[in-house]
Amino acid sequence: MDLTLIIAGVAIGLAMSAPLGPVNLIVIRTALCHDLKVAFLAGLGAVLADVLIAGIAAYGIQSISHLILDYAKVLQIAGGLVLIVLGIRTARTHFADSDLTTGPHSARFGLTFSLSVTNPGLVLGYLAIFSSLSMHLALGASPYRPAMVLFGIALGGALWWLLLSFFVGRLKTRLGPSTLDKINRWSGILVAAFGFLLLWKAFD
């Protein structure tokens, strides 16, 4: 087992998960409405999508990569519409009456997975990372090297969602209902804004 490859994968997983986006907002909102376990489960949906997309890029499965990129506009439109609807629903509901308090917990896992796996930018991101680090990672040298990196990416992503869920869960005990309601409203507005941005990129 090459520890260097795993560490590199952890760094990549953290770098791809940490930037603020709709999935981060969904996990934050889930952590505010539920406990750490449910929020972490929501984040794991994104981890699974990351590993699948990174695996396609790491193993050089060009046909699948091209298929995703060929349908980038369709995926962006679909993802944008989902985010807009989700954002408007979130912004219009009070925190105490949140729609995330009902329904199976697996729905959050499926939502973050679908939003991540249909994001063409994820494919481009991993292709760019693996291309820029090709000399250091040497993914084509042996079949096990990409697997070690993917394992690290899964660990890094899971670590990020665990930490985010934990700290947001601790923070919510110090916030009043009105503050939580404002966070809920603005998170919905931001999610909808990400949706409009995807639509703008799709038709640009």
79-88 per-residue burial string, b: 16 or more CB within 10 A, e: under 16: bbebbbebbe
**Number of Cβ within a 10 Å radius of residue 104:** 8
Residue 76 confidence (pLDDT): 80
Instruction: Look up residue 118 and give its two tokens.
Output: 């249909």
- Give the number of other Cβ atoms within 10 Å of residue 77's Cβ: 15
Query: What are 45-64's pLDDT values in tens digits?
Result: 999 999 999 998 888 765 66
pTM of the model: 0.80
Element (H, E) at 165: helix 144-172
Q: Does 103 score more than 80 pLDDT?
A: no
* CA-wise closest residue to 24 among 91, 83, 95, 76: 83
Tell me the per-residue pLDDT of 148-191, one tens digit each, with 9 for 90 and over: 999 999 999 999 999 999 999 888 777 776 777 777 788 778 88
Between these two residues, 101 and 144, which has the higher pLDDT value?
Answer: 144
Condensed to tens digits (0 to 9), the pLDDT of residues 106-145 reads 778 988 998 888 887 788 888 888 887 878 888 877 888 8
